[in-house]
Copies of this chain bind each other. A is one copy, B any other.
């Protein structure tokens, strides 16, 4: 019967999927081009027709990660400023908890210097922008202090990013106390950032 087709259906997509599966299960160091090629039933150099090297495959995986994160953040209800700010932070941390290995790939400096993968940088910016719009909105309605937006953003992003990493690396209590802790942490910053303290 039909021997395995010389031309594969959609090799790039299947490679990406397998890389993502491996990452989620065993971390980014477990991603091996040769292993992926073998599992698909194709020779290793075939992958180089679609990814210039291993790192650009990792970049592609990270891009889908940023898209997921962006989509989750966009789903947060923006009606009430305080609710939006709190829950966008919670959602951010929840994403990191749900996808620790993916999150570590997206940040964590495993992919070489910024600027090397423009589409990756752009995907990151798109997720960042959701945070930024929420904070800007909080300022525009007078809920947050009218400090420079870059300063507010650096603070907010640092907090959620740090909280995410410390949580998934097991440096914080975690466990069932976790949601309450995240809410407490975010609330502490939020209360200190209000226009009218009290």
Chain A contacts to B: CB under 8 angstroms:
27, 100, 104, 107-109, 113-114, 124, 128, 147, 150-152, 154-155, 157-163, 165-166, 168-173, 181, 184-185, 188-189, 191-193, 197
- A143–B100 Cα distance when bound, in Å, is 36
Residues of B within 8 A of A159 (CB): 155, 158-159, 162, 189
- A193–B187 Cα distance when bound, in Å, is 11
Evaluate contact between A155 and B188: CB separation under 8 angstroms: yes
Copies of this chain, complex-wide, total 2
Name 13 A/B residue pairs within 8 A (Cβ), A-sorted: A107-B165, A107-B169, A108-B108, A114-B171, A150-B181, A151-B188, A154-B172, A155-B188, A155-B189, A157-B171, A157-B172, A192-B192, A192-B197
Shortest C-beta distance, A182 to chain B (Å), equals 8
Task: Please give me the 4 A-B residue pairs with the lowest Cβ-Cβ distance, nearest first.
Answer: A192-B192, A162-B162, A158-B162, A161-B162
Residues of B within 8 A of A152 (CB): 188
Residues of B within 8 A of A162 (CB): 157-163, 165
Residues of B within 8 A of A181 (CB): 150-151, 154
Shortest C-beta distance, A106 to chain B (Å), equals 10
Contact partner, A188, options B147, B157, B169, Cβ 8 Å:
B147
Contact partner, A109, options B104, B154, B197, Cβ 8 Å:
B104
Contact partner, A192, options B114, B151, B172, B191, Cβ 8 Å:
B191
Shortest C-beta distance, A134 to chain B (Å), equals 17
